[in-house]
C-alpha cells in the first residue's frame, strides 16, 4: 500500500467516524452527505483547520439550529486525533438513548414540542422496514435482530441425488412390489420417489471498510442471524484483509456474538481492498470447494482502492465456480444512484443479481432471491 493510498484510507475512516458521531447527536448525516464531504475535502488544504471546518459544515449541516451541535462534535472528535488517540471500534450499540431532533420525533408524536430535543422513539413496523440503516437510532438498532430473525430462514436449496417418497416422480419399485404382496401380486397402488431438497451452500462476503461503516453494523447483525439459522452458511468480512466470521458469529446470544466479531476485525472502518480480499478468499477457501455450487452474496459499495484488474480476475473466478453471484449495494437504494465507481462497474459484469441493502425491506428482497434459488 502506498503512502498516498494509506492517507486516503485514513481520511475516509475518520470522516465516517465523524459522521457517526454527528448522527448520535441527532444530525441527519447519511452516506450521500459523507460523499459530498469527501469531495469537499479534496478541494481544501487538510492542514488548515478553518478550511476543513467550513468544508465539512457546508456539506454535513443543512439546518441552522444544528450548527451548535456540529461545532461541539467537531471540537470533541478531531481533538482526539490531534492528541494521538483514535476512537475505539465496537459492534455494540450504545446502551443509553440517543437524542434526536424534535422535528423527527414530532413526525411520530404530533404533540411534541418543536423546539425541545426528544429521546429516541420506536417507529411503526412499516416505517422501520423502510428506515435507512444509516439513519437508525440506537434504540432501533437494538431491536434490529428480532426484526430480521424471520428473514434468516430464507436458505437456498438444491436437488440432491438421494430420493424421498413422493406423490410423483420416478417409480419406487421396492415399495410398489411390497404393496403388491397384499393384493395377490397385482400392483394396484404404485409408489413414487423424487429427489430431496437439501440446503445449498451460502457464502457472504461483507465489506466493513470506512465507506460502508454506516451500514456494516446492521449487515453484520443480519449475518449473525443467517449463520445461526443455516447449516451451510459461511460469513466473511473484508476491508484491507479477509476475516472469517463464521466461528465468531455462532451461539444463541447475538450481543456476545457481535462482540466477538468486532474483536476479530482489526480493519473495521479502514480502507478497501476488494480485489485482494477476494483473492485471499479464492486461494484459501475457494480451493476447498467452498464456492463450487454455492450462492455467493457480496455486500459492498464497490469503492475499490486497489487494482481493478485484480478485482476483475477474482470475481471471474468466483462466478465460474458459484451457482449464482448476488451483489448487494446499500447505496443503490438512494435516489439518483449510479454505479460510477470503478469497482461497481466491474462487479456488474460478473453479478447475476444486483440488489439494494439499505433497509429491512431491501433485505426482504434478498431473502426472496435466496428462496427462489434451486
Query: For residue 272, how many C-alpha atoms fall within 13 Å in the half-sphere facing its CB?
Result: 25
Decide: 148 and 363 in contact? Cβ < 8 Å.
Answer: yes
pLDDT range class, residue 326, cuts 50, 70, 90 = very high
326: nearest Cα among 157, 174, 204, 192: 204
C-beta neighbour count of 318 within 10 angstroms:
21
C-beta neighbour count of 87 within 10 angstroms:
15
Phi, psi of 165 (to 5 degrees): -60, 140
Mean pLDDT of the residues in the chain = 80
Helix axes 308-321, 274-284, angle to 10 degrees: 40
pLDDT of residue 309 exceeding 50: yes
304: nearest Cα among 12, 17, 34, 39: 12
Task: Look up residue 234 and give its three cell numbers.
Answer: 459461511
138: nearest Cα among 175, 176, 96: 96
Q: What per-residue string of b and e applies to 234-249 under the rule 16 or more CB within 10 Å gives b?
A: bbbbbbbebbebeebb
Distance CA 23, CA 119 (A): 13
pLDDT of residue 67: 83
Q: What is the mean pLDDT of residues 127-134?
A: 83
Decide: 243 and 281 in contact? Cβ < 8 Å.
Answer: no
pLDDT of residue 94 exceeding 60: no
Nearest 5°: CA angle at 361, between 356 and 364? 85
Distance CA 234, CA 299 (A): 14
Distance CA 244, CA 265 (A): 9
pLDDT of residue 237: 93
pLDDT of residue 156 exceeding 80: yes
pLDDT of residue 352 exceeding 50: yes
pLDDT of residue 353: 95
pLDDT of residue 125: 65
pLDDT range class, residue 27, cuts 50, 70, 90 = confident
Mapped onto helix, strand or coil, the DSSP state of residue 329 is strand
pLDDT of residue 84 exceeding 60: no
Check residue 111 and report its DSSP letter. T
38: nearest Cα among 5, 20, 13: 13
Q: What is the mean pLDDT of residues 133-148?
A: 80
End-to-end CA distance of the chain: 41
Contact residues for 279 (Cβ-Cβ < 8 A; gap 6+): 310, 314
CA distances from residue 150 to 155, 220, 226, 230 in whole angstroms, order as listed: 11, 16, 10, 12
pTM score, whole prediction: 0.66
Q: Identify the weakest region by mean pLDDT among 6-15, 219-228, 240-249.
A: 6-15
Mapped onto helix, strand or coil, the DSSP state of residue 255 is helix
- Over residues 179-223, the pLDDT tens digits come to 888 888 888 888 888 888 888 999 999 999 888 888 888 888 899
Task: Burial-class residue 89 by CB neighbours within 10 Å (0-12, 13-18, 19+).
Answer: middle
pLDDT of residue 281: 95
C-beta neighbour count of 293 within 10 angstroms:
13
pLDDT of residue 331 exceeding 60: yes
290: nearest Cα among 307, 278, 274: 278
Decide: 190 and 175 in contact? Cβ < 8 Å.
Answer: no
pLDDT range class, residue 2, cuts 50, 70, 90 = low
Q: What is the mean pLDDT of residues 86-99?
A: 44
Amino acid at each position: 500500500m502506498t503512502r498516498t493510498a494509506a492517507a486516503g484510507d485514513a481520511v475516509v475512516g475518520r470522516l465516517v467516524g465523524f459522521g457517526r458521531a454527528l448522527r448520535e447527536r441527532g444530525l441527519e448525516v447519511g452516506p450521500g452527505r459523507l460523499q459530498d464531504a469527501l469531495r469537499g475535502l479534496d478541494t481544501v488544504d487538510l492542514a488548515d483547520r478553518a478550511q476543513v471546518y467550513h468544508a465539512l459544515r457546508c456539506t454535513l449541516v443543512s439546518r441552522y439550529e444544528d450548527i451548535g451541535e456540529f461545532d461541539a462534535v467537531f471540537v470533541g472528535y478531531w481533538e482526539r486525533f490531534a492528541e494521538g488517540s483514535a476512537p475505539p471500534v465496537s459492534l455494540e450499540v450504545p446502551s443509553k438513548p440517543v437524542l434526536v431532533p424534535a422535528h423527527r420525533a414530532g413526525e411520530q408524536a404530533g404533540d411534541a414540542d418543536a423546539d425541545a430535543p426528544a429521546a429516541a422513539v420506536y417507529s411503526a413496523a412499516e416505517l422501520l422496514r423502510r428506515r435507512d440503516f444509516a439513519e437508525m437510532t440506537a434504540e432501533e438498532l437494538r431491536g434490529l435482530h428480532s426484526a430480521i430473525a424471520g428473514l434468516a430462514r430464507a436458505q437456498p436449496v438444491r436437488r440432491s441425488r438421494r430420493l424421498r417418497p413422493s406423490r410423483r416422480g420416478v417409480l419406487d419399485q421396492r415399495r410398489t412390489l411390497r404393496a403388491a404382496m397384499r393384493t395377490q401380486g397385482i400392483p394396484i397402488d404404485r409408489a413414487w420417489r423424487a429427489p430431496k431438497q437439501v440446503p445449498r451452500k451460502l457464502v457472504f462476503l461483507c465489506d466493513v471498510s470506512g465507506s460502508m461503516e454506516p451500514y456494516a453494523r446492521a449487515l453484520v447483525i443480519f449475518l449473525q442471524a443467517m449463520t445461526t439459522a443455516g447449516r451451510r452458511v459461511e460469513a466473511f468480512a473484508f476491508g484491507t484483509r479477509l476475516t472469517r466470521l463464521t466461528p465468531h458469529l455462532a451461539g444463541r446470544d447475538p450481543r456476545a456474538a457481535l462482540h466477538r466479531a468486532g474483536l476479530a476485525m482489526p480493519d473495521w472502518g479502514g480502507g478497501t481492498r476488494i480485489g485482494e480480499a477476494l483473492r485471499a478468499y479464492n486461494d484459501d477457501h475457494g480451493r476447498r470447494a467452498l464456492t463450487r455450487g454455492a450462492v455467493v452474496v457480496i455486500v459492498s459499495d464497490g469503492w475499490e482502492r486497489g487494482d481493478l484488474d485484480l478485482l476483475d480476475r477474482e470475481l471471474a473466478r468466483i462466478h465460474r465456480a458459484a451457482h449464482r453471484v448476488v451483489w448487494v449495494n446499500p447505496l443503490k437504494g438512494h435516489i439518483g444512484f449510479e454505479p460510477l465507481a470503478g469497482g461497481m462497474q466491474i462487479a456488474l459484469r460478473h453479478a447475476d443479481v444486483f440488489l439494494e441493502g439499505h433497509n429491512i425491506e431491501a433485505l426482504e428482497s434478498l431473502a426472496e432471491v435466496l428462496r427462489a434459488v434451486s
